[in-house]
Amino acid sequence: MQATATPGAPDRAIRGPAITFTGDAFAHGVEDTLVYEPDAIVAMGGGLVTHFGPADAILPELPPGIDIHDYGPDALISAGFIDTHVHFPQVPMIGAFGEGLLEWLERYSYPTERRFADKAFASTVARVFLAECLRNGVTTSCVYCTVHPESVDALFEEAQRLGLRLAAGKLLMNRHAPEDLLDTARSGYDDSKALIERWHGQDRLMYAISPRFAPTSTAEQLAAAGELWREFPDCYLQTHLSETPGEIEWVRQLFSERAGYLDVYDHAGLCGPRALFGHGIHLSEPELGRLHDCGAAIAHCPTSNAFLGSGALDLFRAVNQERPVNVGIGTDLGAGTSFSILQTLSEAYQAARVHGQALTAGEAFYLATRGSARAMCLEDRVGHIAPGMEADLVVLDMKSTPLVTHRMAFVDSLEEALFVQITLGDDRAVQATWVAGQLRHQRP
Ligand code: GUN
Ligand code: ZN
């Protein structure tokens, strides 16, 4: 897919080893889609990548005197990581002691989310959240806020200040939660619409219509969400789907007239491109087929699934090329346990092992970059490095700790080097994060 924008002149560049993907690594194989450039230049201007390729070829094309930051041979430049499912209001309660999903929501999530009625509190957490994303090389996220519109304003204000491409939305939740966290079908629709009109398409910000999950919305509220999405079809739709057996059984009781969990959303008009369904662990074959047909995506959240004991997504079943479903990676904080995409990919590998499969490092890096961009229908803007793409980049340090440095002395392939980063790396491996051509994080 070609980038849509035409880049202008570069005003800065970075140099070092680089990887990127030219297409779908699950469909066409890592061998045919991963590009590794041992000494690359990425030049940027006007927020876009203007040049990308081997230093020998690119250097003569750059204006004389341009600032080139050389990260050296132990770096790895990649497209910035994309987190397709995360709850910023749950950052103050990450690591709350173990419970299953429904008890965990009642005991930890709802009391914390209540505090976001206070805009100042929401702004403080939004700053911490986005700083932590940048420290982990995450340049785009799809974010759940709380039921309070102020929480969305707080996050978008900070994301706009940082120049981030980010999707977010207010929770829609009109039942089965504490009274003071509920909206109504009408107020949820009205508040979401006002937020869309205020924020969607401002700079790089995008709105995500966000019914929390079927148990906390009436059929009337889900239908109102569907109506809103029809009015604003280039917004996202995010919700949770088939995360735990107890939740699935609850949905079956609440919506006994529907064929299954996905059908509850489908009936309300909530299936299509730009629909991001969190988890999708326990889906039936017809449900996976429907996700494929409608162009929706699953946000795979392995650290959260392990933490809550929800199960393990069978990733290779989801992306089965006979009816591939788009899959992106998600941290799902605060049920997820790490902002680090490297750590999250390591747990995605472990989730695949539960099903007798193995996620290669190449596939994992695809999942965190171009695969997640594809899941968000953003493949023409972010997720890979090419002229005209938005200049969102992460620069890894491939020797970030004494142990990683020791281990790297024994690797004999790029795949092995990348796998070591996933298994042993974390925020310490992120030495710089660039957002729209601006340096937004530099590891001290
Ligand atoms: N299902 C509904 N709400 C949530 C949430 O906040 N976190 C997770 N992991 N699952 C959910
Ligand atoms: Zn979630």
Q: Which atom of ligand 1 is nearest to the CA of 310?
A: 9
Q: Which atom of ligand 1 is nearest to the CA of 334?
A: 7
Q: Which atom of ligand 1 is nearest to the CA of 215?
A: 2
User: What is the distance between the alpha carbons of residues 239 and 274, in angstroms, rounded to a whole number?
Assistant: 11
C-alpha 243 – ligand 1 centre gap (Å):
8
Query: Which amino acid type is present at position 76?
Result: L
User: What is the distance between the alpha carbons of residues 81 and 283, in angstroms, rounded to a whole number?
Assistant: 26
C-alpha 105 – ligand 1 centre gap (Å):
7
User: What is the distance between the alpha carbons of residues 221 and 227, in angstroms, rounded to a whole number?
Assistant: 10
Quote the pTM value.
0.98
How many CA atoms does the CB half-sphere of 341 hold within 13 Å?
34
Q: Give the pLDDT score at 98.
A: 77
State the residue for tokens 């029809």: 230
Which of 332, 333, 337, 344 to mutate for ligand 1's pocket (most ligand atoms within 8 Å of CB)?
332
Return left, alpha or beta for 388; rule: phi > 0 is left, psi -120 to 50 is alpha, else beta. left
- Nearest CA among 320, 329, 372, 332 for reference residue 348: 329
Going by the DSSP 8-state scheme, the letter that residue 433 receives in this structure is: E
Task: Pull the structure tokens for residue 134.
Answer: 């940048």
Q: In this structure, which residue's CA is closest to atom 5 in ligand 1? A: 105
C-alpha 32 – ligand 2 centre gap (Å):
33
User: What is the distance between the alpha carbons of residues 191 and 369, in angstroms, rounded to a whole number?
Assistant: 32
Task: Pull the structure tokens for residue 152.
Answer: 């969305």
Over the stretch 36-62, which tens digit does the pLDDT of each residue have? 999 999 999 999 999 999 999 999 999
Q: Which atom of ligand 1 is nearest to the CA of 216?
A: 2
Task: Pull the structure tokens for residue 261.
Answer: 């969990």
Domains of the chain: 12-80+384-442 (2.30.40.10), 81-339 (3.20.20.140)
> Which residues' Cβ are closer than 6 Å to ligand 1?
87, 101, 105, 109, 212-213, 240, 243, 304, 332, 335
C-alpha 240 – ligand 2 centre gap (Å):
6
User: What is the distance between the alpha carbons of residues 373 and 392, in angstroms, rounded to a whole number?
Assistant: 12
Q: Which atom of ligand 1 is nearest to the CA of 90?
A: 6
Which ligand is closest in space to the CA of residue 308? 1
CB of 43 within 8 A of CB of 49? yes
Q: In this structure, which residue's CA is closest to atom 9 in ligand 1? A: 335
Task: Pull the structure tokens for residue 259.
Answer: 């064929």
C-alpha 33 – ligand 2 centre gap (Å):
30
H-run or E-run covering 132: helix 119-135
Which ligand is closest in space to the CA of residue 337? 1
Which ligand is closest in space to the CA of residue 106? 1
CB of 176 within 8 A of CB of 182? no
CB of 297 within 8 A of CB of 345? no
CB of 64 within 8 A of CB of 417? no
- CA 2 distance to own-chain centroid: 21
Percent helix, strand and coil across the chain, each rounded to 5? 45, 25, 35
Q: Which atom of ligand 1 is nearest to the CA of 240?
A: 1
User: What is the distance between the alpha carbons of residues 71 and 159, in angstroms, rounded to a whole number?
Assistant: 26
Query: pLDDT per position in the chain (444 positions), as tens?
Result: 445 577 889 999 999 999 999 999 999 999 999 999 999 999 999 999 999 999 999 999 999 999 999 999 999 999 999 999 999 999 999 999 878 999 999 999 999 999 999 999 999 999 999 999 999 999 999 999 999 999 999 999 999 999 999 999 999 999 999 999 999 999 999 999 999 999 999 999 999 999 999 999 999 999 999 999 999 999 999 999 999 999 999 999 999 999 999 999 999 999 999 999 999 999 999 999 999 999 999 999 999 999 999 999 999 999 999 999 999 999 999 999 999 999 999 999 999 999 999 999 999 999 999 999 999 999 999 999 999 999 999 999 999 999 999 999 999 999 999 999 999 999 999 999 999 999 999 999
Q: In this structure, which residue's CA is closest to atom 3 in ligand 1? A: 212
Q: In this structure, which residue's CA is closest to atom 7 in ligand 1? A: 335
Peptide bond into 246 cis (omega under 30): no
User: 430: Cβ–Cβ under 8 A, 6 or more apart, which residues?
Assistant: 135, 136, 137, 394, 395, 396, 397, 441, 443
CB of 201 within 8 A of CB of 242? no
Q: Give the pLDDT score at 4.
A: 57
**Alpha-helical runs (H) found in 145-260:** 149-162, 185-199, 219-231, 245-254
C-alpha 143 – ligand 2 centre gap (Å):
9
